[in-house]
Amino acid sequence: MRTLLRWEGRFTPADKAASDYVLLPFEVPPGIARLEVRYAFEGQGRPDAPSVIDLGLFDPRGTAFLEGEGFRGWSGSARAEAILTPRAATPGYIPGPIFPGRWHVILGLYRIAPEGCPVTVVVQGAEEEGPLPHPPPPPPAPFSPRPGPAWFRGDLQSHSHHSDAPGSLEDLVAAARRRGLDFLAVTEHNTVSHFPYLAAWSGPDLLLIPGEEVTTYYGHMNAWGLPRWLDFRCRTAEALRAVIAAAHAMGALVSINHPKTDGPPWEYPLALPVDAVEAWQGPWPLRNHESLAFWERLLRAGRRVVAVGGSDKHQDPPGEEMPFYQVGHPTTWVYAEALTVQGILDALRAGRVVITADVEGPWLTLTAERDDTTWGVGDAVPPGGPVRVRCRVEGGEGLHLRCLSRRGELAFVPVDRSPFEWTAVLDLGEHGYVRAELRGVRHFPEERPEDLPMVVMTNPIWGAPAP
Ligand SMILES: [Zn+2]
């Protein structure tokens, strides 16, 4: 082992004010087959540490913003070391050639204590590959899609040990199969080291969608359907706008994640051209009324942004399972032409999306009818007179149906049988949109509709074609 870098320094709040990210260069001589990066900072590993510093790595192919061809991995503050060899790497890092030339350790200054934070970084190299730090990615398997069109149920946000979860990607995928999900987006923080495993383990029973949670210090954003890594190094609206454009150019969709207290919240402007909002993250009582209100503010401002759910499940360690917080809590249903990445992305983009608290349970159908035409969630009803809006609930006895438009609540009625129907004649040109919710049991008469837990929520039917 040769020491290629030994760096000791101290970061202050002034350093963070100047930049959230610091690059430390080091030279790799020819003939190196194993790199080991280790770092330490004051309070590392303590949840209450006043400073938090993240770790990542770039190879000589480059560090430029949005190009970042040299991206070789990111572990946030979840790991104190990363090992790379040609065939395998620590989860979060990308195996491959250890190119000779100038590499960079990247440190992310997430939080810096007022008195500053001492940091040590050591990089060592060896000519032998040595013991593999992780099983190498399996080769991609041929994929046969399940045909549609159909409602497919899945989960749009999850994490494994490729970022900060204690459990493995293998266990996360097995849990999704046990839960009977049709699709699972694995959205690791700022890295794509899980992509080859998804390509190998995806099947017609469970479609695995390559995702990345763009995890900035001012808000988190999912990107689904990425072919490769997407840069996350943003602190301004302009930088994030460029990242969103890059994601769209790659055919991916982006979603504002968990815009609520402790989400962490979204500090960027609302005007950014995101496709979706995670209006429901994890079990409903985790402040999801705030995320729903965030989405509804966008709707009332005239934005056609799709509401999605994501469990944000961080896979449990082996042998431990949180029964009330698993993948599929909540479940996002999309009406897609086929169970393929493109099929799911197209359906998400079209807003053909319903979110339910669990993988099984009551179902809520929202339609609008005029003459012989019926529209469903995500559709836009063209001008031409009022429509009959129909909410149909199956298996929801004891719950409450709520119907809303841009003007506010249109109905809040107890569901006393199954199937149950509520209809009204509305001019969607005046109402802008209509959407429906199924809310939980009312235990106290003073509980307001919006305080009851969500059981099912639909996306809107729109009042006119998108401009
Ligand atoms: Zn997040």
Structural domains in the chain, sorted by start: 2-126 (2.60.120.380), 146-356 (3.20.20.140), 363-462 (2.60.40)
Q: Which residue has the tokens 């610091």?
A: 22
Gap between the Cα atoms of 253 and 45, Å rounded: 33
- Using alpha carbons only, give the angle 380, 383, 386 rounded to the nearest 5 degrees: 95
The pair of structure tokens assigned to 279 is 């209006």
Q: How far is the CA of 348 from the centre of ligand 1 (A)?
A: 19
Under a CB-based contact definition with an 8 Å cutoff, are residues 460 and 433 in contact?
yes
Separation between Cα atoms, residue 96 and residue 86, nearest integer Å = 4
Between the CA of 374 and the centroid of ligand 1 the distance, in Å, is 37
CA-to-CA distance for 119 and 41, rounded, in angstroms?
4
- 203, two tokens: 């099947």
Task: Report the SS3 class of residue 281.
Answer: strand
For residues 137 and 16, the answer to whether their CB atoms sit within 8 Å is: no
Q: Look at the pTM and tell me if it is higher than 0.85.
A: yes
SS3 178: helix
Q: Ligand 1 centroid vs 278 CA: distance in angstroms?
A: 10
CB 278 within 8 A of CB 256: yes
pLDDT (tens digit, 0 to 9) for every residue of the chain, 467 residues total?
999 999 999 999 999 999 999 999 999 999 999 999 999 999 999 989 999 999 999 999 999 999 879 999 999 999 999 999 999 999 999 999 999 999 999 999 999 999 999 999 999 999 999 999 999 999 888 888 899 999 999 999 999 999 999 999 999 999 999 999 999 999 999 999 999 999 999 999 999 999 999 999 999 999 999 999 999 999 999 999 999 999 999 999 999 999 999 999 999 999 999 999 999 999 999 999 999 999 999 999 999 999 999 999 999 999 898 888 999 999 999 999 999 999 999 999 999 999 999 999 999 999 999 999 999 999 999 999 999 999 999 999 999 999 999 999 999 999 999 999 999 999 999 999 999 999 998 888 888 988 999 999 999 999 975 55
**d(CA 220, ligand 1 centre) in Å:** 5
- Let me know: does 98 contact 34? Beta carbons within 8 Å: yes
Q: Strands 52-58 and 101-111: what pairing?
A: antiparallel
**Structure token digits, residue 225:** 């359907």
Measured in Å, residue 413 CA sits from the centre of ligand 1 at 35
